[in-house]
Structure 1
Amino acid sequence: MAQQAPMTAMDAPAEPNALPLDTGGVEGSEAPESWFSQWGDTFVRNVTVATLTPVLPEPGTANGAAVILAPGGGFMFLSMSNEGWEVAQALADQGVAAFVLKYRVRPTPADLGEFEQSVTAMFAGAGPRPARPGGFSLADPVEDATAAFALVRSRADEWGVDPDRIGMVGFSAGAGTTLATTLTAPETRPAFIAPIYGAMTAVEVPETAPPMFVVLAADDPLFANSGFGLVESWRTAGRPVEFHLYQNGGHGFGLGNPGMTSLGWFDGFMRWLELNGFLQAGP
């Protein structure tokens, strides 16, 4: 994980293409949605109104595949640039329609300094993960993701998307949202999923589980030291799975950082999509 850097408050960026998902608010949330920058990246917290932002390929370049992107942030904030917009643009450049999901997160203190202290202490191991006030649960992000799948399918013709080739990619907490959506909301029917540096806990895998592409760095301080139960669960269930354990990259590397072996994961993911037939229409 990158060395801690100060959080700096910033004005909310323009999101002219963000579409509200109408999934409700967050119980117990009182602070307004707010944005901050850190390590040169853009983050948002206290999200109570979920949105979906389309990032579409240039006309004539779309291949019909689509990805719903779930940024990470420990369900306390969302890494919108590093794990959202930048990845979406990379997918669109490859002809894949991308949709950045700004899902609801748990309430955090309105004061940025207080919030920063709690996050710093948590990642340093000196403090607990902030409590979940107001009854926040993973049900909120899953509901948002389910609404996102429904919206993309409802406008598939308009966006040049094949309804049967919509997958989901999530980072860290977003990987957790991706898995929870896949396993508890079967109506979403993702064609494929890619949990990127998420928890590796074993799960019960249904026989209809989609193909899965997993990425983790061996030096990830959060998830690299508890086995690979998630991958084994998919293998035991006889479902397609590809697992890339990179030598280095830490946690939160997004598309990858120069000088780290994990920089190559996106190219591997695109090759995996192609070889599994997701980048072209079926017969």
Structure 2
Amino acid sequence: MKFETRPKTAMRLLKYMKNGFAVGAVAAACLLASSASALDDKMTPITTPDQPNAITLNTGPLPGATAKEAWHSQYGSVFARNVTVATLTPFLPDPAKATGAAVIVAPGGGFMTLSMENEGWQVAQALADHGVAAFVLKYRLNPTPEDMGAFEKSMAEMFSGAARPRPPAQQDPAAALAPQIADARAAFALVRSHAAEWHIDPDRVGMVGFSAGAMLTLSTALYGQDAKPAFIGDIYGPLTAVDVPADAPPLFIALAADDPFFANSGYGLIDSWKAAKRPVEFHLYEQGGHGFGRYKKETSSTGWFDAFAAWLGMHGYLAPKK
């Protein structure tokens, strides 16, 4: 797969991932800063869950990776890390209520972990309940220490800033996300190749992502070539300005005003979409922190999914195409 870039936009995205976003990368480790105290924040290793419906994508193993995929529980959810082989797990609606629309769901975790339950399976099931086929993308991740204790230590150092990585000089800014974008492109190709079997209209396949997954979703829309999502959702991802193509898909954004990572950097992404005269909807919740996903919280941010579903309905994706 070839990978094309828009240099200015890619550089801005890379700045988030390589400079400050490495801390936001472990948003799963500090999500719900305002109300997570009621949830267990301890990282507890668990056996890899059964994923009988997961389909291996054709992007191959992550080059140079040596650590085995590992899973842990935290905050009442489950997380995967050291993912070296990408998979796609379908959540298909009852054929009697299928609308023909589909969404690829990209969990977050800073390209170091994936919040598979809170930002993956639960979101996909909720979409399927609305008649929309959903597919959880377990994309390849940057390596982390295989030992859980060493992993926790590296995260603590990351928060302290002592081990914050710096971008290599002259690095192609888009190369940092190339494996993940390849996984997303393969996911779109797989879904469309099974469109008839899964009762999907290949022209009505979109993508929604959370935090790092939101970065991947936006990058897929901008640089994914053949992916061409019909619509995209950016849930608590960075809102830096980008160069928006004339055919950019409709964009839905949800963010909490107290998000510790992305709430204080302006709203350039929204301005970019508006300047390009492309559809954009933005929900800024007063409270919610980062990583609220499908967690039950006493903040209005919990309503983001209902707002997203209503937005899908407004664009005609909650009913069969006429």
Verify: 1:273 aligned to 2:303, yes or no. no
- Further displaced range: 83-92 or 135-144: 135-144
Q: Name the residue aligned to 2:284.
A: 245
Q: Name the residue aligned to 2:136.
A: 100
Q: TM-score, normalised by structure 2?
A: 0.84
Q: Name the residue aligned to 2:93.
A: 57
Stretches of structure 2 lacking an aligned partner (at least 5 in a row): 1-30
Verify: 1:211 aligned to 2:241, yes or no. no
User: Could you tell me how far apart the structure 1 residues matched to 2:163 and 2:293 are?
Assistant: 25
Counterpart among 108, 116, 119 of residue 155 in structure 2? 119
Q: Name the residue aligned to 2:47.
A: 11
Question: Secondary structure of 1:269's partner?
Answer: helix
Verify: 1:82 aligned to 2:118, yes or no. yes
- CA drift of 1:118 comes to 1.8
Question: Secondary structure of 1:89's partner?
Answer: helix
Q: Name the residue aligned to 2:259.
A: 220
Q: Name the residue aligned to 1:147.
A: 186
- CA drift of 1:25 comes to 1.7
Verify: 1:2 aligned to 2:32, yes or no. yes
User: Could you tell me how far apart the structure 2 residues matched to 1:251 and 1:174 are?
Assistant: 13
- CA drift of 1:125 comes to 4.0
Pair 1:132–1:23, CA change in 2 (3 A)? farther
Pair 1:130–1:35, CA change in 2 (3 A)? farther
User: Could you tell me how far apart the structure 2 residues matched to 1:72 and 1:60 are?
Assistant: 32
User: Could you tell me how far apart the structure 1 residues matched to 2:165 and 2:74 are?
Assistant: 20
- Further displaced range: 82-91 or 20-29: 20-29
Whether the 8 Å contact between 2:130 and 2:318 is mirrored in structure 1 is no
Question: Secondary structure of 1:210's partner?
Answer: coil
- CA drift of 1:91 comes to 0.5
Count of residue pairs the alignment pairs up:
281
Q: Name the residue aligned to 1:178.
A: 217
- CA drift of 1:187 comes to 1.1
Q: Name the residue aligned to 2:108.
A: 72
| Residue type of the alignment partner of 2:117 | S
Q: Which runs of 4+ in 1 moved over 6 A?
A: none
User: Could you tell me how far apart the structure 1 residues matched to 2:156 and 2:100 are?
Assistant: 42
Q: Name the residue aligned to 2:7.
A: none
User: Could you tell me how far apart the structure 2 residues matched to 1:145 and 1:127 are?
Assistant: 32
| Residue type of the alignment partner of 2:293 | G
- CA drift of 1:132 comes to 8.8
Residue deviations 1:203-251 (CA, integer Å, cap 9, x gap) = 0000000000001000000100100111111001100000000001100
Stretches of structure 1 lacking an aligned partner (at least 5 in a row): none
- CA drift of 1:261 comes to 1.0
| Residue type of the alignment partner of 2:235 | I
User: Could you tell me how far apart the structure 2 residues matched to 1:71 and 1:264 are?
Assistant: 18
User: Could you tell me how far apart the structure 1 residues matched to 2:319 and 2:177 are?
Assistant: 33
- Further displaced range: 110-119 or 49-58: 110-119
| Residue type of the alignment partner of 1:188 | A
Question: Secondary structure of 2:89's partner?
Answer: strand
| Residue type of the alignment partner of 1:218 | A
Q: Please provide the CA RMSD for this pair.
A: 1.8
Choose between structure 1 and 2 for higher RCO, CA contacts under 8 A separated by at least 6 residues.
2
Residue deviations 1:3-58 (CA, integer Å, cap 9, x gap) = 58221100000000000002022222111000011111100000010000001112
User: Could you tell me how far apart the structure 1 residues matched to 2:193 and 2:308 are?
Assistant: 26
User: Could you tell me how far apart the structure 1 residues matched to 2:185 and 2:113 are?
Assistant: 20
Identity of aligned residues (%): 59
User: Could you tell me how far apart the structure 2 residues matched to 1:262 and 1:15 are?
Assistant: 29
Q: Name the residue aligned to 2:64.
A: 28
